[in-house]
Structure 1
Amino acid sequence: MRIGPSRKYMFNLESVAMTDIVLNMFIFFFISFSLIYTFNPTKAKHIKVNLPAAKHVADTQGKDEIVNITLSSEGPLYLEGNIVSLKELEAKLASSAKRNPSMAVVIEVDRLVAFKNVVRVLDVLNGLGIERLRIAAAQEEK
């Protein structure tokens, strides 16, 4: 004879509920990681540019305001890591030059970029009266 409860409790988790939980977790992580990647401030600094080498490379750290312009071999023109057109470049540099007339511009040009594209950027800088200009180069290996 049995004394006590005769019922056995079974833990049962429905597969539909488990699927909902996993799907919601997937959506949460997918959205959060895509937002982290989209608004990552260090991402802008990873533009691949194959700079030409030079023996005498100057260090520009610790100087006045420096604006970086990058011409990559893939085609786009970057101002401070953001893709811009030539007209946008001119407008943004004009406003920066009004705020700080002593600003310097560093141009990073990939080896494979056509020289006419470099001349277009130099023409914009010349038209704005920006005289402090440097062209970036990689240190030549000995």
Structure 2
Amino acid sequence: MANKEFLIESIWATESSFSATTPVHLLKDEWQPSANLDLDVQTAEVDGKRVVNLLINVAVSIKDKEIFKLKSVHTGVFNVTGYDDKELEQITESFCPSIIYPYAREKVSAMVSSAGFPPLHLSPVDFDARYRAAKEGKA
């Protein structure tokens, strides 16, 4: 049986963009926004390493009026060895994104705050539940 190894090599913000359709100073309604979060995970193997991209898109509106949109992509590079294919898939689709997500949440909050809007705190995500649901959907 091979030795199992899991190492985080690096995590960084690969891409970030923020677009304020309605700047703060033009807001007339009370700050009760609705946020639409789109979250995706992309994985690849590059030079024997596992590369995991966490893509976050958020659109915020108030009463059907778009306020801002943001996109944030965070990438993690992991050295994962000694696992079978099923374990490896779960690690890269569930465990790795759960490691990257706190960094992405902080970046999203900072982007929104630096644009002058009240902080946007993304809720925790259960990546394991998302993974299981995706697997059941394919079955």
Q: TM-score, normalised by structure 1?
A: 0.25
Higher strand share: 2
Q: Decide which structure has the larger Cα Rg and report it.
A: 1
Higher helix share: 1
